[in-house]
Amino acid sequence: MPVRPSAAFCLAVVTAAVWSFLAPARADGQAPACDRACLERALDDYIDALVARQPARVRVSPSAKFTENGQRLELGDGLWRTITGRGRYALKMADVGAGQAVLMGTVREADLPTILVVRVKVAGERIAEIETLVIRNQMAAESLDAIGAPRPVWTQPLPAADRTSRAELVRVANMYFSGIERNDGRGDYPIADSCARLENGVVTAGDPAAVLGPGQPVSSGRPRLGCKAQFETGMFFYVTRIRDRRFVVVDPERGLAFAFAFFDNGSGEARNGTLRDGTKVVSGPAIPWTWQIAEVFRIEKGLIVAVESVLHPVPYGMGSGWSTWEEAMSSRPRW
């Protein structure tokens, strides 16, 4: 009498077939590469399992590492226990060379809008790393949901002649961070005059129409200076350090560089600054303050043309759980 295969066995066979289709075999006979479609599917599968609160559905390697807001957790803990649905906003990025993909989007947690950033690293047919930021800022999440769809610029391929190396994309994007750190308005800022920035669902630099589309209301009371013009004022002087800069997704085809970082904002005397025009100002937090940020840059012909970020406050000096920052601090001489 034939033995009927179990449902679990059938699911495993189907899943393996799907991964085989999405991850074509390499010509050198080594482990199959995960292309853009494969990486984005890995993200989708992860979110599907997360929303269903079924961590067993995620195909992870035996040594897989999972963090939420810098803390190492067991898969199935944290947001896995409190998520209640998907949101409307989803910006997906992929780095085929590194086998990594990132989602910046929204979900619902305890039936409230919440921002979620997910990075997955795929090795072979399994996810080896999962890094998440859960930004519990209802107003920001509602703003992103109201926008609905990301700007088309994030998914438009660059002409082949305009594409540049991964190293060059990282170099240009890193100059943005260096330009903010102890900003004095006199640095080298490789930013297009048309650059607009969306930050936690709010247009904080540039023309809102470039982000939200024509006819949309201005979403912030701040002056509509462009990204570069803001740098040139020296207004970010109070950001004393931008550390743990990790460019985890770099996409030459679309001209994208995505990074995680921490902004340490000065307190005390660091709040007293002089703008480029000579104006004396006091700005920044009155206490030691760190922002944990996820930020993506679109770079065309050596200039940053679009910026998008999500961020939230964390304990001052906090580490990511994925870098050598914590190790470096722990090895410093004690006094």
Residues 99 and 205 in one domain: no
What's the CA gap between 180 and 187, in Å, rounded?
9
Is residue 6 domain-resident? no
Residues 284 and 300 in one domain: yes
Listed residues 150, 171, 201: the one ending a domain: 150
Let me know: does 148 contact 91? Beta carbons within 8 Å: no
Is residue 144 domain-resident? yes
What's the CA gap between 282 and 123, in Å, rounded?
49
Is residue 91 domain-resident? yes
User: H/E/C letters for each residue in the chain?
Assistant: CCCCCCHHHHHHHHHHHHHHHHCCCCCCCCCCCCCHHHHHHHHHHHHHHHHHCCHHHCCEEEEEEEEECCEECCCCCHHHHCEEEEEEEEEEEEECCCCEEEEEEEEEECCEEEEEEEEEEEECCEEEEEEEEEECCHHHHHHHHHHCCCCHHHCCCCCHHHCCCHHHHHHHHHHHHHHHCCCCCCCCCCEEEEEEEEECCEEEECCHHHHHCCCCCCCCCCCCCCHHHHHHHCCCCCEEEEEEEEEEEEECCCCEEEEEEEEEECCHHHHEEECCCCCEEECCCCCCEEEEEEEEEEEECCEEEEEEEEEEEECCCCCCCCCCHHHHHHCCCCC
Residues 198 and 309 in one domain: yes
User: H/E/C letters for each residue in 166-227?
Assistant: HHHHHHHHHHHHHHHCCCCCCCCCCEEEEEEEEECCEEEECCHHHHHCCCCCCCCCCCCCCH
What's the CA gap between 301 and 190, in Å, rounded?
10
Is residue 241 domain-resident? yes
pLDDT value of position 23: 38
Asked whether the whole model's pTM tops 0.95, one would answer no
Residue for token pair 């409230």: 112
Is residue 135 domain-resident? yes
pLDDT value of position 210: 87
Full residue range of the structural domain in which residue 146 is found: 20-150
Residues 143 and 163 in one domain: no
Mean pLDDT for back-to-back runs of 10 residues, the chain (335 residues): 41 36 40 83 96 97 96 97 97 97 98 98 94 98 95 97 97 98 96 97 92 64 80 96 97 98 88 92 91 98 98 95 70 57
Listed residues 150, 166, 185: the one ending a domain: 150
What's the CA gap between 194 and 305, in Å, rounded?
7
Residues 107 and 165 in one domain: no
Tokens of 7: 């449902």
Listed residues 100, 125, 150: the one ending a domain: 150
Is residue 206 domain-resident? yes
CB atoms within 10 A of CB 111: 9
Residue type, 98: A
Residues 187 and 135 in one domain: no
Number of domains in the chain: 2
Residues 182 and 303 in one domain: yes
CATH number for the domain that contains residue 25: 3.10.450.50
What's the CA gap between 93 and 104, in Å, rounded?
9
pLDDT value of position 30: 47
CA-to-CA separations, 282 to 221, 226, 231, 286, in angstroms, rounded = 19, 22, 17, 10
Residue type, 271: R
Residues 183 and 125 in one domain: no
Tokens of 241: 């350090």
Residues 286 and 225 in one domain: yes
pLDDT value of position 126: 94
Is residue 334 domain-resident? no
Is residue 307 domain-resident? yes
Residues 127 and 174 in one domain: no
